[in-house]
A and B are shown apart, each in its own frame.
Chain A
Amino acid sequence: MRHTISVLVENKFGVLARIAGLFSARGYNIASLAVSETLDPDTSYMTIVVEAEDEKVLEQIKKQLNKLIDVISITDFTKKEHVDRELVLSKVNCSAKDKDKLEVVLKKYVAKIIQHKGDVAIIEAADKQENIKQLLEVLNKFGIKELVRTGRLAISS
């Protein structure tokens, strides 16, 4: 099962390597990872989506992360009210005559065309996981040429 955890860390070089190293050394899987500074430039938030087969593994992941000196605190969103979003940029086949059709589709999601050149549209979407999944299925019908994703971000609500 996938769990989203948010790890507040000291913004020092090598911290990402410590976290990534801990996951690989102990055989845990990272599904996605997003890192960025907080308002305080001395700290960063890492939003990590982990694959854990049961509670016990998730508990161990949190405990092991907590042992790292540079980890300040951990928030587990599994049983916590929160909102999460993922940002997706995608190049999609779209001729001029298809553009209206694509725009209609995108209205159902938090998504828009941010550039349209020739037969290619670049789409930006920032939405919930299930919506992103649906959207990608729809876009696939147009033909996805390229896709980049940030991985999930979460914040308690």
Chain B
Amino acid sequence: MIGAQILLECLKREGVEVMFGYPGGQVLPIFDKLYDADLKFILTRHEQGAAHAADGYARATGKVGVCLATSGPGATNLTTGIANAYMDSIPLVAITGQVKTFLIGNDAFQEADVTGVTRPITKHNYLVKDVKDLARIIREAFHIASTGRPGPVLIDIPSDIQLQDTEFIWPEEVKMRGYNPTYFGHPGQIKKAAKIIAQAKKPIIYSGGGIITSGANQELRELAEKIQAPVTWTLMGIGGFPATHRLSLGMLGMHGTAYANHAIMEADVIIAVGARFDDRVTGRTDTFAPGAKVIHIDIDPASISKNIRVDIPIVGDAKNILGELSEQLKKAPDTSDWIKTVEGFKKKHPLKYKDDGRLKPQYVVEQIYEATKGNAIITTEVGQNQMWAAQWYKYDHPRSFISSGGLGTMGFGFPAAMGAKMGCPDKVVIDIAGDGSIQMNIQELGTCVCNKINVKVAILNNGYLGMVRQWQELFYKKRYSQVCITSPDFVKLAQSYGAVGIRVDRKEDVRPAIDKALSTENTVFVDFHVEPEENVYPMVPAGEAINRMIEGLA
């Protein structure tokens, strides 16, 4: 078998159903074999779109996303998508062509040191130098990408290796002496944690993306109900605990709910699960949750005590550790007073916006929630659209909210929606976008229409790069510098690609437009011309303690 065939055979054996990518000079042998292969390939309009689509596919399904690009510019175009997956611990395998082995280092046409470029943004990467190593490398790549704390792995394959012939040997086992993720929590640590929880008066659960990766949502719910602790989550943790649950506090942090931020600051025990105390969550770390004992459950030992001092670290997989912890808890603490306090926070500081009859972005998101009955997969771009999508749609299911958390990549949501739809064809998939972000990967309209990937895009069009404008308004004396952005006529643009475009200017037209979009068998852009200078509240100014919020309308 030649290298290109080995690659495709390995992908098949790894259970890959679809890959996203773009051809080019140094991947011609692969595309030639792909011509006959039983593998769905989605030709995107830009390699960045392919990486984000593979990422969206992975987030929606839990499987490894795969993208493919040629050497040089093809590969460097993937890098934003790879970095995005790295920051959010998303299993991704990126395959790139490379110039022939004897040309490497010669500044050959379309050559770039791609393993060098991607070293700090991948969990691991490979340059294949011998075709005999190819099957093992692919096997290892999928293993590394999907186990432990997941992440992207890149395989750079020179084009001469793709053509070399060798016997195909599928390695049944993966053996790497330097890679042994810990799955089972230390029993002594779990016992200690149970003891602290049993004595807690004001416990809170702070959950992150690890709940979703680990599939621990049921265990999380059981623990929360057993100990009667309110649950707050990070942006990545959205959907890990039902938003409509009585114990839910919504998202915390910079644009979290005020009640979640107040609650965590007053808690006496924080049970952090699959979250990493990111600066958008903690605000000023020296003022964060001063009275709390911290139990931190995470599969990555390096996440523990990185930003916040942890009292009880438990390294391992959230699912089995939460299960163990619930089992260990013989006696649940009495938290009835605490729950009353938290209910008080909720009443005193609800999430709100001023409904004055004008077209508000928050209203659009609420209406999307109503129209889809909370059953859609929502992807987002980055900025205000992302925060409103996080705040005003209630996510009850894991993998229903797909957003660029760590890297904050504008242009992520649309290709990610495409990937999510490919993975979950029976789901309604909606990208909640801004007029700035959508223009960063708008070329993927072509991919959607061509492949009949019926995603819907709700553009919250305010004529600004809204989040930056908000910062300039609040912290730079309203000196709006390069945040006013013009857009094409999105309706005509959608139509020119063969998609459907709808423009909405009035509040009363919101719901009919959403209903029409949902019942249209095509990619639909709905261009909502919303209030231009609406802000996202609450907001914790950078470097402040997280209970020192600007609440907007008080």
Contacts and interface: CB of A to CB of B under 8 A. Distances in A.
A17 B120 CA distance: 10
Contacts of B116: 17
A84 interface: no
Interface in B118-140: 119-120, 123-124, 127
A interface residue count range (under 10 / 10 to 19 / 20 to 34 / 35 or more): 20 to 34
A145 interface: no
Contacts of A10: 178
B178 A72 contact: yes
Nearest to A71: B178
A68 B306 contact: no
Given A17-B119, A25-B120, A68 B302 contact: no
A118 interface: no
A118 to B, nearest CB: 42
A18 B119 contact: yes
Contacts, number: 34
A143 interface: no
Contact of B301 (A17, A21, A22, A66): A66
A119 interface: no
B435 to A, nearest CB: 34
A70 B144 CA distance: 12
A14 B114 CA distance: 12
B301 A63 contact: yes
A59 B373 CA distance: 47
Contacts of B301: 63, 66
Contacts of A17: 116, 119
B302 A63 contact: yes
Contacts of B178: 9-10, 68-72
A144 to B, nearest CB: 37
B55 interface: no
A154 to B, nearest CB: 21
A64 interface: yes
A69 B179 contact: yes
B306 A67 contact: no
A156 interface: no
B124 A69 contact: yes
Contact of B119 (A21, A56, A59): A21
Contacts of B115: 14
A150 interface: no
Nearest to B121: A25
Interface string A36-75: 0000000000000000000010011001101111111000
Contacts of B176: 69
B103 to A, nearest CB: 17
Interface in B257-315: 300-302, 305-306
Contacts of B127: 14
Contacts of A25: 120
A60 to B, nearest CB: 6
Given A17-B116, A21-B120, A72 B300 contact: no
Nearest to B129: A13
A10 B179 CA distance: 11
B161 to A, nearest CB: 15
Interface string B102-124: 00000000000001100110011
Contacts of A18: 119
A87 B172 CA distance: 46
A21 B117 CA distance: 11
Given A68-B178, A69-B179, A71-B178, A59 B305 contact: yes
B139 to A, nearest CB: 14
A67 B302 contact: yes
A10 B305 CA distance: 28
A18 B178 CA distance: 14
Q: Which of A14, A63, A67 has the most CB atoms of chain B within a 10 A radius of its CB? A: A67
A67 B305 contact: no
Interface string A91-123: 000000000000000000000000000000000
Contacts of A66: 301-302
Nearest to B124: A69
Interface in B301-343: 301-302, 305-306
A71 B178 CA distance: 5
Given A14-B115, A17-B119, A18-B119, A69 B144 contact: yes
Contacts of A9: 178
A21 B122 CA distance: 12
Contacts of B120: 21-22, 25
A8 to B, nearest CB: 9
Contacts of B119: 14, 17-18, 21
B177 interface: yes
Contacts of B124: 69
A63 B123 CA distance: 14
A66 B179 CA distance: 9
A14 B128 CA distance: 12
28 contacts: A9-B178, A10-B178, A14-B115, A14-B119, A14-B127, A17-B116, A17-B119, A21-B119, A21-B120, A22-B120, A56-B305, A60-B302, A60-B306, A63-B301, A63-B302, A64-B302, A66-B301, A66-B302, A67-B300, A69-B123, A69-B144, A69-B176, A69-B178, A69-B179, A70-B178, A71-B178, A72-B177, A72-B178
Interface of A: 9-10, 14, 17-18, 21-22, 25, 56, 59-60, 63-64, 66-72
> Closest 9 CB pairs between A and B?
A63-B302, A69-B124, A72-B178, A25-B120, A69-B179, A63-B301, A71-B178, A72-B177, A21-B119
Given A64-B302, A66-B302, A71-B178, 6 more contacts: A10-B178, A17-B116, A21-B120, A69-B144, A69-B178, A72-B178
